[in-house]
Amino acid sequence: MQTPVNPFKQAIAGKRTQVGLWCSLLGPLNTEICAAAGFDWLLLDGEHTPNDPMNLLQQSQVIAAYPGVHAVARVPMGHGYVGQALIKQYLDVGIQTILVPMVETAEQARELVRCMRYPPDGIRGMASTRASGWGRNPSYAKEANSEVCLLVQVETQEGVRNVDAIAAVDGVDGVFIGPSDLSAAFGHVGDPWHPEMKKLHGDLFRRIQAAGKAVGILTLDETLARQHIEMGASFIAVGTDSNLMVKATSGLAAKFKGASAPAPAKGQNY
């Protein structure tokens, strides 16, 4: 067996925009429907959903059946022993790319890099797991460090202040801007696209790109998404499975029951 090359990591390093979708409905069937749609990546969310490592394993196995689609998983917490344990489990089930929320300092980012890597570069534990083909790939532990991909979220005032240092950390592959949490942190709760926030997003794009790192963001608005791609977004989520279902089901009910269709979503807790 061979250690899988991480196509997502290669693409964002090469500044090839990767278009993705947020998956929050736990799967596996809805995840398979999304995997067959043709996105470059799907985000399996463990922060704002009851997803656990077993669910993530199932969904990553489903996604693996669709070449060209990459599974990215978000841990609910990346810091401390809880975060360390979860990152270890996510990697061991075979997920190569991990998104970590609420990263505020370069020190936190460096510790996350260590959690992602085997010694001597990190503290990931050695084991014969699914990631290594249950031990059938003897080279896995020597090659995995170069194929794992770490994405960190900047979504607080402290994170914004330290974004240059965070992005400069060796081993951080990309920085994801969290519009909804950022808007709350800066006093614009529920309005992630307030003019002040758009200005901040532009500043963050420039600072992250200046560090030579990939920039990511999520928006449910097509016009904004295309603007972010023009700004140089390397990985962008353009929708969520839950929002697509909300819009479709509410819209269909409104046609037959006379109920009000839902207003376009300005933002959610991503």
Among the options 48, 70, 188, 228, which is catalytic? 48
Give the dihedral of Cα atoms 82, 208, 270, 124; nearest 10 deg.
Answer: -20
Residue 228: active-site member? no
**Residues 6 or more apart from 72 whose CB is under 8 A from it?**
8, 20, 41, 42, 43, 44, 95, 97, 98, 99, 151
Query: Do residues 142 and 183 touch, judged by C-beta distance below 8 A?
Result: no
Going by C-alpha positions, the residue among 212, 99, 76 that lies closest to residue 149 is 99
What residues are labeled active site?
48
